[in-house]
Amino acid sequence: MKIIKRNGAEVTFDIEKIVMAVTKANNAVDETVRMTPLQIRRISESVQLACEENGRSPSVEEIQDMVEKAIMAHGAFEVAKEYITYRYTRSLLRQSNTTDDRILSLIECNNEEVKQENANKNPTINAVQRDYMAGEVSKDITRRILLPKEVVAAHEAGIIHFHDSDYYAQHMHNCDLVNLEDMLQNGTVISGTLIEKPHSFSTACNIATQIIAQVASNQYGGQSISLTHLAPFVQISREKIRRSVDKEMQAFGVSPDAETVSQVVEERLREEIRRGVQTIQYQVVTLMTTNGQAPFITVFMYLNEARNQQEKQDLAMIIEETLRQRYEGVKNEKGVWITPAFPKLIYVLEEDNVEEGTPYFYLTRMAAQCTAKRMVPDYISEKKMLELKVDKNGQGHCYTCMGCRSFLTPYVDPQTNEPKYYGRFNQGVVTINLVDVALSSGREMDKFWQIFDQRLELCHQALMCRHQRLKGTLSDAAPILWQYGALARLEKGEPIDKLLYGGYSTISLGYAGLYECVKYMTGKSHTDEAAKPFALEVMQHMNDACKGWKAEHNIDFSLYGTPLESTTYKFAKCLQKRFGLIPGITDKSYITNSYHVHVSEPIDAFTKLAFEAQFQQLSPGGAISYVEVPNMQQNIDAVLELMRFIYDNIMYAELNTKSDYCQVCGYDGEIQIREDDGKLVWECPQCGNRDQNKMNVARRTCGYIGTQYWNQGRTQEIKDRVLHL
């Protein structure tokens, strides 16, 4: 069994250290109240047993809490007091500098918490370590200086989660929709260099990748671009190629018919589109931004976003090539085609592509084949989104999320009375732990709503801290964002404040563990018809809170289904510490993401999507639903049936499958999760390889694909998933 030390390092559990610590406390009290060596041994063994029953690696602090309780359970209160006093004294000494040990341990690559914090960051790489080092310093400053004590205390207790505190010291925002159209059509500036409107599709793609990298280095969340903004450059290249072909024909002294010339032009144009798309895919995969990972980028594919029929046809060619290349994948260091994490792809299901016989159904079939093999694209239903995303003029809109699931709210520019989405952003996220609210109430319903309101007000306070941290930020802090078109065209030295109000940007109240919250309060899963009304009431209550805060501050607060990549593990550990192991509630090393059906609950794909659609509607700031499916590469018709169901029933959904490869034996199938001495490890079922550096594992984690492994909580959640099809 392993334990996690305070600096994050993982070491083997040693019962003799508990025996020694309790013996020292025992020897410090009067002989008349001392325990016997046998009692001390039994206390130590009971703690060891409790750790083993947890099913995960406990922290030193958790073990010491168990020791305290075990000593008191034996009635040795004087010994317990001595032990607690010693802990407190040591804690005071450590508080003089809480950051050095964590930084040193991550540099030496033995900080297990940091190593598994982000499924797309490799902590052995210098750039990642440098980002983590800066993050530890930022978290320390944030905790000690920048945030109110009550917010810090609630965050550390797992009552709320103040996201991305490793970036909070800087004036940085969360995620955005990049206004690529403005930057390409009107020019931009990158690193002090003027970039004018490109004169070909391939050049536009190259510039787009530079913009993606620059944006990623100036914010900490996801970003999204639309392929529609690249489509006009297809026609520019077409005209350029035609001039070149005409010139060649004149040089050869031939006069082919117009149809032949057009055929040559289109063949060359498709080759340029292939190169341009390849540039985006390979640049995104191979780029490393200042935070030590590939840009967290989502690429949006929406045919009806095109402004005319020619542009729509050209956009279709770009989408076709994007799907073709993503289906192929990228090569790993062994030269084997594997599934990359980014760019994330989103394909819009719409009237002229969702049914066989419609003009663009061939793209939908390609998308289905790509999903079955590479887990992307994900799907937005134009039909459902137009119903749910309605602006103040009564018009519905279809647009992409910012990254994996964070959605902007509908917005009409007061200057033009036109809808606006590209160029907008999210200010940040704070998440409420719904499970803790429920457990703190002891199943008393009146007390539940009272505690719920107290915790929501704490989130409100924390979110306003995020807002205030951005307020007053000058456009000079990130010129690519605020001055050169990605988000705005502000003057040098101009504050970004006007973009923080009136709905231009959003700020998100996240939530986690709706399933466990409802299960504890009602005794049933929220999929049960008797419990669902309470679940919907909880969701509405959070929406009402956001509405009240919006009216108070003129800031667009919005309810957001938190992805919980590593926080799921943190929340689970905090709940176990505060409330113990409660069957069906706190007995896992994770809690359920947002409103999702529990990963182990048997339910078919169609029922799951229809059920969760009700909750997406109440999660306007961000939501995504998924279904777990087996290998579907030989059953594309079933994938298409699911896609049609998504179109008719739910706004945003994805299909989860597996895409793994063992570099030792060449196994191309599902890498298994095994338990070894209380720890979950990944193992090739063919050769037994457990070296994570010698296998490629891709799993959908929180709306996006992870490829660098996960903490023990998320790994257990992945292991517990059941198939829905």
Average pLDDT over residues 659-670: 90
Task: Could you list the beta-strand ranges (E) of 148-235.
Answer: 160-162, 175-177, 188-190, 193-195, 223-226
Q: What is the DSSP code (8-state) at residue 704?
A: S
Q: Phi-psi category of 189—alpha, beta or left, where left has phi over 0 and alpha has psi -120 to 50?
A: beta
Token match 């020019």: residue? 187
C-beta of residue 106 within 8 angstroms of C-beta of residue 131 = no
Q: Is 554 among the catalytic positions?
A: no
Backbone angles phi, psi at 401, to 5 degrees: -80, 170
Please say if 635 is a catalytic residue: no
560 part of the active site: yes
For all residues of the chain together, what is the average pLDDT? 91
Set 7, 57, 226, 406: catalytic member:
406
| The one catalytic residue among 565, 612, 628, 654 | 565
pLDDT score for 651: 98
What is the reported pLDDT for 99? Answer: 59
Judged against a pLDDT cut of 70, whether residue 708 lies above it is answered with no
- Check 560, 569, 626, 709 and give the catalytic one: 560
* 262 labelled catalytic: no
Asked whether the beta carbons of 725 and 630 are under 8 A apart, the reply is: yes
pLDDT attached to residue 679: 84
Query: Which range among 344-348, 505-509, 529-533, 656-660 shows the weakest confidence by mean pLDDT?
Result: 656-660
Sheet holding 659-662, edge to edge: 659-662, 695-700, 705-706
Q: Point out the catalytic residue in the list 426, 543, 593, 711.
A: 426
Tell if the pTM clears 0.75, that is, is over it. yes
List C-alpha distances in Å: 175 to 129, 223, 460, 567, 633: 23, 6, 20, 18, 33
459 is catalytic: no
Assess whether the previous peptide bond of 343 is cis (omega < 30° from 0).
Answer: yes
Q: Is 584 a catalytic residue?
A: no
Instruction: Let me know if 267 is a catalytic residue.
Output: no
Token digits of residue 294: 């590939």
**pLDDT tens, 680-694?**
899 999 999 999 889
DSSP letter assigned to residue 593: B
In terms of average pLDDT, the best of 183-197, 247-261, 280-294 is 183-197
What the block records as the tokens of 647 is 């179109």
Please confirm, yes or no, whether 406 is among the known catalytic residues: yes
Q: What is the pLDDT of residue 105?
A: 62
Residue type, 451: I
Catalytic option among 35, 66, 172, 175: 175
| Coil, strand or helix at 676 | strand
490 falls in which pLDDT band (50, 70, 90)? very high
Q: What pLDDT sits at residue 638?
A: 96
Choose among 153, 28, 19, 18: nearest CA to 85.
28
Catalytic residue among 111, 174, 179, 441: 174
In this predicted model, what pLDDT tens digit does every residue of 214-238 receive, in sequence order? Answer: 999 899 989 999 999 999 999 999 9
What residues does each domain of the chain span? 2-96, 175-342
**Distance, CA of 203 to CA of 210 (rounded, Å):** 11
Asked whether the predicted pLDDT for residue 201 surpasses 90, the reply is yes
Q: Of the listed 35, 398, 402, 465, which one is catalytic?
A: 402
From the candidates 205, 375, 404, 539, which is the catalytic residue?
Answer: 404
Of the candidates 561, 703, 706, 713, the residue annotated as catalytic is: 703
| Residue-level pLDDT at 292 | 62
Q: Are 713 and 56 in contact (CB under 8 A)?
A: yes
Active site residue 350: no
User: By the 8 A CB rule, do 201 and 153 touch?
Assistant: no
